[in-house]
Chain A
């Protein structure tokens, strides 16, 4: 690597001049646009150095093929008094499934900009994340965004935010991230209100890995927040949770381009490349220290991610199993919350039982696997993790309907504390919907006369099976949802099996509340009847709980499947037609003697299909 002269401006600012913050916002409330505005104002390098710096960085990229995702960006801000501040903007994901990732971003920050759309108002998930920030001891800077929209009601929204945070409406800033109005005031507030990081330069190094990603050329790239001490290129490191002890090949900051620096000190945010290539060896949330002078106490902020939703992922083409394994390994590098273990299905062959934080997470993973790794997947019905109490009193976790023991004392199912914020006109609708999903009201509070906050205890499985979509559609998209894990409770659950020609199709089994067993069984049987092509014999489709059949349909045997015409000697055409039909056959999976089209698995298991 050629020697580089490092810009003095990019090295070791005193902690008093550092502010680390994240932006907490609901999807579409303008977080990215605001980030762009902040980037423009606070270009990380001075104008004088800009050109040289950018070119240098581009060379770096070209040389090594690095593209760093802008997960944490360093900004410069010159305060009116002339002081030069370093602002680190740390990205947060914006969905209910990713509370865990949000908590990591928060753990790397001292403050959070709470961004609320001046039209939409406060949403459940924004609020949940704001609470997380408050609980984490972060300074919250409330901001109403999109104040220049015709339908904006900044005053009302400011009152709403103030009520939630217990501040005065006057403390709520007003911004248009589109036009840039109010952005300077926001920068001033970030500097004034958010405390500088505290950390001891002389203490042993402790830095939090708050994100990571895999680069083909450089291996694992970690995003770090230094708490105490210093990390320098060449240091021998130790990761407290994993015990790995690689050397720091390169440390640097993102401007947003990757710029190597000699050292990162207390309060700083940057990246670390260690040469570790194996994706399992570095865990997001781990604490990095120095091997020669190790810290002993890990930083808070790391929680073992707990998958809540499970689904089997199978390659449509059995030959793709190894590719699926490799793809999952790669995805897991950036996504510590993804878990998977090999699983075998009679219907689908070899695949993986995967654990996700939630349904959205599941869909994102599946989409990435299909798109980025060019896989064609079949996903089984999502399930939550149940606890089954065995006759001897032992407890067993059940992540797949197949694993449900026949003999058991009881089944405990996971519950969540669900927070729903809705316009008050939809209160009745929302309460009815939650009741249908076995929810129990814990509390109800009017944020303003127009907006209600409802807190329910609901089985997680109910949320998993399409609740969010139903909530959105029954409130015209106005209600918002957030939830957190809230223990287990005994429930009257049953496993519904689907049998094709008397052969159970494991991929379609589901553990459902006994009262919902019939409707689940009926729905699947009806859908399958429309999806399974006629065979050489009658195919009964049954839904059963244990040995009791609760719903039944029959796909009648095919009677005619032959082209009568001879086409006057045109043998070629007939053969081509058959060849084409044969291709369709290839996409069939055999379940016992029954041919089931690949699409049937997907269509039947689609949660929202009805």
Chain B
């Protein structure tokens, strides 16, 4: 999916801003073999018996959705583990989506996959079905760390998955890595990053292990298990950024690195405050200034769709100032930053903004603001949200 042209750097401001007018579609697949101890997404384990029913329900939801503003330029199938559905089922969902308003030329069609469900045959089927980008949940190439994370694949499987994805014709292959897992050493982290890069990936996501409330991990930490150390995570991230740059992957968002032409367009839409539709359990959408989200529980979702009822469980519509603040908070995650605009100007003028500038966290480049020290990005976000509401 070389949609941006091979020369477009992923941190190019025009690329970042253009995503605001694109339309995206998200499909959620909640099924997993087992639930990872740190995961708090809408997932279910051992319910694949409901897969057919679920595909039917998502199909119905897509068919009933409000008209799309334009043909989706990016489709993202996330989970859960999308590959718990067969490539045929996934392709069928893609066709249902396409029937609504077609797909944009050179559309990006991503899915998330687990190395343990991956095979050359699966990869080839998915490409045949229309997928052109895959995000592999490798997480680590250290078997000890994988065990702590509750992942059952072998490090070599992840490596082979990258190869077979490329061989099958995926235009973009991403690997997710998690840093700061208890038991991870500086050497094992470095080895993981190097191995992922050496496999020839086009895109790298580095996530810091986060203890989310209500997960088995948070319960373990509550009774004394080691919690991730943010200082160590900072070191890991810095090392990953260094190694990625050396391999030609440019950081274009807090956690994301890509070769030129391989930025994830679906995510760019999100950060540019663009519109997207969401389908399936717990899926979020952003349409016409309103953000809304579906019920998370599989059974409730299925029953609601089958009864022809509502699957939306909550919504919020932001006022003009809140939208402006959100534009900054989201946009400042990108290396390209964000056009300063009214809110950015006020941020710079505020006491917190001045401190952040003085500390070299917030940076002005022409008409844009950017976060020069991405690991302190939330500090900037809080400063934006702390601004008094104003007319925009």
Interface of A toward B, CB cutoff 8 Å: 536-537, 558-572, 574-575, 578-579, 581-582, 585-586, 590, 593
Check A562/B293 contact, CB under 8 A, given A536-B361, A572-B284.
Answer: no
Known: A560-B231, A560-B233, A560-B234. A569 touches B378 (CB 8 A): no
B382 near A568: Cβ-Cβ < 8 Å: no
For A564, give its contact among B207, B270, B356 (CB under 8 Å).
Answer: B207
Bound: A558/B234 CA distance, A: 10
**A536 vs B237: C-alpha distance in the bound complex, in angstroms?**
18
Tell me, yes or no, whether B100 is within 8 Å of chain A by CB: no
Pairwise interchain contact B385-A569, C-beta atoms closer than 8 A:
no
CA distance A559 to B361 in the complex (A): 11
B41 at the interface (CB under 8 A from A): yes
Query: Residues 230-264 of chain B: 1 if any A CB is under 8 Å from the residue's CB, otherwise 0?
Result: 11011101000000000000000011000000000
Known: A574-B329, A586-B386. 16 other contacts (CB 8 A): A536-B356, A536-B376, A560-B237, A561-B375, A562-B375, A562-B376, A563-B210, A568-B26, A569-B278, A569-B283, A569-B285, A571-B270, A571-B286, A578-B385, A581-B382, A590-B351
- Using a CB–CB cutoff of 8 Å, the interface residues on chain B facing chain A are 26, 28, 41, 76, 78, 206-208, 210, 230-231, 233-235, 237, 254-255, 267, 270, 276, 278, 283-286, 291, 293, 316, 326, 329-330, 351, 355-356, 358-359, 361, 374-379, 381-382, 385-386
Cross-chain contact of B293 among A570, A574, A578, A582 (Cβ < 8 A):
A570
**Which B residue's beta carbon lies closest to that of A557?**
B359
Q: State the CA gap A403–B206 with chains docked (Å).
A: 55
CA distance A558 to B210 in the complex (A): 17
Q: Which residues of A contact B267 (CB under 8 A)?
A: 566
Tally of A-B Cβ pairs under 8 angstroms: 98
- Residues in chain B near residue A590, CB distance under 8 A: 351
A565 contacts across to B, CB distance below 8 A: 207, 210, 255
Q: List 8 A-B contacts (CB under 8 A).
A: A537-B359, A560-B231, A561-B230, A564-B210, A568-B26, A569-B278, A570-B284, A593-B358
Q: Contact: B254 with A578, CB < 8 Å?
A: no
Q: Which residues of A contact B207 (CB under 8 A)?
A: 564-565
- Asked if A582 meets B234 with Cβ closer than 8 Å, knowing A562-B254, A564-B206, A564-B255, the reply is no
Asked if A560 contacts B270 (CB within 8 A), the reply is: no
Find chain A residues with CB under 8 A from B359 CB.
536-537
Residues in B with CB closer than 8 Å to A586 are: 386
Smallest distance from the beta carbon of B347 to chain A beta carbons, Å? 13
Given known A563-B210, A581-B382, A585-B382, contact A569–B355 (CB-CB < 8 A): no
* Across-interface contacts of A561 in B (CB, < 8 A): 230, 375-379
Complex Cα spacing A574 to B377, Å: 13
Expressed in whole angstroms, the Cα–Cα distance for A562 and B76 within the complex equals 24
Asked whether, in the complex, the Cβ of A571 is within 8 Å of the Cβ of B291, the reply is yes
A568 touches B41 (CB 8 A): yes
Q: Are A575 and B326 in contact (CB under 8 A)?
A: yes
Shortest B289–chain A CB gap in Å is: 13
A86 to B26, CA, bound (A): 89
A537-B359, A564-B208 known; A571+B234 contact, CB < 8 A: no
Taken together as a complex, chains A and B put the C-alpha atoms of A568 and B269 apart, in Å, by 12
State whether A569 and B26 are in contact (beta carbons under 8 Å apart), knowing that A563-B210, A585-B382 are contacts in the complex: yes
Q: Which residues of B contact A537 (CB under 8 A)?
A: 359
Q: Which of A558, A562, A586 has the most B CB atoms < 10 Å from its CB?
A: A562
Query: Can you name the residue of chain A whose Cβ is closest to the Cβ of B277?
Result: A569
A582 touches B210 (CB 8 A): no
Q: Report B-chain residues with C-beta under 8 Å of the C-beta of A569.
A: 26, 270, 276, 278, 283-286
- Are A559 and B330 CB-contacts (below 8 A) given A564-B255, A571-B284, A572-B293? no
A586 to B386, CA, bound (A): 9
* CB-CB nearest in chain B for A558: B376
Contacts of B276 in A (CB 8 A): 569
Residue of A560, A561, A572, A582 with most chain B CB atoms under a 10 A cut-off: A560
How far is B329's CA from A578's CA once the two chains are assembled, in angstroms? 10
Contact A568–B28 (Cβ < 8 Å): yes
- A442 nearest CB across to chain B (Å): 54
Q: Nearest residue in B to A576 (C-beta to C-beta)?
A: B316
Report chain B residues within 8 Å CB of A593.
355, 358
Contact in complex: B286, A582 (CB < 8 Å):
no
In the complex, what's the smallest C-beta–C-beta distance from A595 to chain B, in angstroms?
9
- Contact B230–A559 (Cβ < 8 Å): yes
- A565 vs B177: C-alpha distance when bound (angstroms): 12
User: How many angstroms from the CA of A202 to the CA of B356 in the assembled complex?
Assistant: 80
* Of B316, B358, B361, the contact of A572 (CB 8 Å cutoff): B316
A140 to chain B, nearest CB (A): 61
Q: In the complex, what residue of chain B is closest to A579 when comparing beta carbons?
A: B385
Which of chain A's residues have a CB closer than 8 A to the CB of B206?
A: 564
Closest to B212 in A: A565
- Cβ contacts under 8 Å, B381 to chain A: 578
Shortest CB-to-CB span from B354 to chain A, Å, is: 10
Q: How far is the CA of A563 from the CA of B210 in the complex (A)?
A: 8
Please tell me which one of the listed residues B78, B326, B351 contacts residue A571 in the complex, with CB atoms under 8 A apart.
B326
Q: With A and B bound together, what is the CA distance between A235 and B296 in angstroms?
A: 79
Residue picked from B78, B267, B358, B376, most chain A C-beta under 10 Å? B376
Alpha-carbon distance between A574 and B255 when the two chains are bound, in angstroms: 15
With contacts A560-B208, A568-B26 taken as known, whether A575 is within 8 angstroms of B379 at the C-beta atoms is no
Decide: A559 near B379, CB < 8 A? Known: A571-B286, A582-B385.
no
Q: For B355, what are the chain A residues with a Cβ–Cβ distance below 8 Å?
A: 536, 593
Contact of A536 among B231, B374, B379 (CB under 8 A): B379
Contact check, B255 vs A582: say whether CB atoms are below 8 A apart: no
- Chain A residues, CB < 8 A from B351: 590
Determine the distance from Cα of A579 to Cα of B382 in the docked complex, in whole angstroms: 7
A132 CA to B283 CA, complexed, in Å: 78
Tell me the smallest distance from the CB of B330 to a CB of chain A, in Å: 7
| Bound: A593/B361 CA distance, A | 14
Provide the residues of chain B in CB contact with A570, threshold 8 Å: 284, 293
| A578 cross-chain contacts in B, Cβ below 8 A | 329, 378, 381-382, 385
Q: Which residue of A lies closest to B273 (CB)?
A: A571
Q: Is the CB of A571 within 8 A of B378?
A: no
Q: Which residues of A contact B379 (CB under 8 A)?
A: 536, 558, 561
> Chain B: which residue is nearest A585 at the CB level?
B382
Determine the distance from Cα of A530 to Cα of B285 in the docked complex, in whole angstroms. 42
Nearest first, the 8 A-B pairs at minimum CB distance are A559-B234, A536-B359, A560-B234, A562-B377, A564-B255, A560-B230, A569-B284, A564-B207
Bound CA span A271–B250, Å = 84
A592 to chain B, nearest CB (A): 10
Contact in complex: B291, A572 (CB < 8 Å): yes
How many angstroms from the CA of A11 to the CA of B103 in the assembled complex? 101
How long is the Cα–Cα vector from A464 to B254 in the complex, in angstroms? 53
Complexed CA–CA distance, A52 and B111 (Å): 88
Q: Please give me the residue from chain A that is nearest to B238 by CB atom.
A: A559
CB distance from B158 to the nearest CB of A (A): 19
When chains A and B are docked, how far (Å) is the Cα of A578 from the Cα of B379? Answer: 9
Known A559-B230, A568-B28, A568-B284; contact A575-B378, beta-carbon cutoff 8 A: no
Query: What's the Cα separation between A563 and B381 when bound, in Å?
Result: 11
In angstroms, Cα B376 to Cα A537, docked, is 11
